[in-house]
Amino acid sequence: MSSPNIHTSFGPILIGALFTSGLAGVSNLQALHYYRAYGKDPARIKVLVFLVWLLDNIHTVFIWVGLWDYFIENYAKPDEIDHIPWSVSLIVLLTALITVLVHGFFVHRIFLLSNKNWFFVAPLIVLTVFRLACASITTSRMFIYQSFELLKVHARWIFTLGLAVSSTVDILISGFLVYLFRSNRAEAGRLNHVLDKLILYGLECGSLTCIGTVMSMICWLAIPNLVFLGLYFVIAKLYANSLFITLNTRNSIHPGKSTCSCEPRRAIMILDPLPSFAVDHATSATSKVQTQVEISVETNVQSDARSSCCSRQDKSATVC
């Protein structure tokens, strides 16, 4: 950067860091609510939430370590704007790891909703792994060059490709979810209004992460300052919150009393395909209801039998 500008370089990353810290607080609250409300989820989902939460907080710490490097260590050194701190280099890798974990969650959901159709998930898996590879190469190049100007000269394409692949996966995941939800409308019966909410929610979550990624990529390619970095800080938080909100809104989309005409197991799978305990819980609840009905019937029969016997004894006593 031949003529560094404090306002257009330090300003965006400071604003991005403040906004990112606010989203980090939201994700912490979402993670806490998840463990309180969904303690019966499978262990793999709990581990996923913990990993995303942990990486998200490390991501926040590294952002402020980078700001310390810019604003304190290199105070009154405008030429150091072009310098890439080690923490900023690792932020690229952390963002990719969070993105891959969240994408993997939604890919698994698509896999179950599509009745384990590899046609849907195979390209998503390939693109997700490729996204992580692009971020790993970008991080290594940042450590080597330690300059945004040199990075743009020698490795602009790999960072751009990683952002493009990430936004492409977002679009494909949203499209597949909408398609699968719409194709299940006929099987869902009277739960169609719930599926409409899921379709809208899938579009909203995918569009937020995609818009954030595309905006960062455009600023990276078109604007010669650190505006792209301030936007890039936010991307990881958008992915983390999309995962937490998806998990925490399951109770709100499940109807209290289902009048669905379809098979109960299929209805539950359409609404919430991930935690297997939901189907088992519904099955056990049904069996409990049936057991209670049987017990009540047996009790009534016994009481009727006793009353009839008592009435017969009374009659015999009267006759005597």
The domain ranges of the chain are: 6-261, 276-320
pLDDT at residue 302, as a whole number: 46
Q: How confident is the model at residue 92 (pLDDT cuts 50, 70, 90)?
A: very high
> Residue 288: pLDDT above 70?
no
Mean pLDDT of 262-273: 45
* Maximum CA extent, the chain: 121
CB atoms within 10 A of CB 152: 17
Question: Which of helix, strand or coil describes residue 42?
Answer: coil
pLDDT value for 73 = 82
- The arithmetic mean of pLDDT across residues 180-207, rounded, is 63
Q: How far is Cα 98 from Cα 240, in angstroms, rounded to an integer?
A: 7
Distances (CA, A) of 26 to 19, 20, 123, 244, 272: 11, 10, 32, 10, 23
- Residue, of 260 and 241, whose pLDDT is higher: 241
Point out which residues pair with 147 in neighbouring strands.
83
At residue 250, the pLDDT reads: 78
Percent of the chain with pLDDT over 70: 69
SS3 content of the chain, % helix, strand, coil (to 5): 85, 0, 15
* Predicted local confidence at residue 276, as pLDDT: 42
pLDDT band at 144 (very low <50, low <70, confident <90, very high): very high
pTM given for the model: 0.77
Distances (CA, A) of 275 to 18, 189, 260: 35, 22, 20
Q: 42-56, 79-93, 172-186, 207-221: which has the minimum mean pLDDT?
A: 172-186
Question: What is the topology classification, in CATH, of domain 6-261?
Answer: Rhopdopsin 7-helix transmembrane proteins (1.20.1070)
DSSP labels, 70-118 = IIIITTT-GGGGGB--HHHHHHHHHHHHHHHHHHHHHHHHHHHHTTS-H
- What angle, rounded to 10 degrees, do the helices at 192-222 and 148-183 form? 160
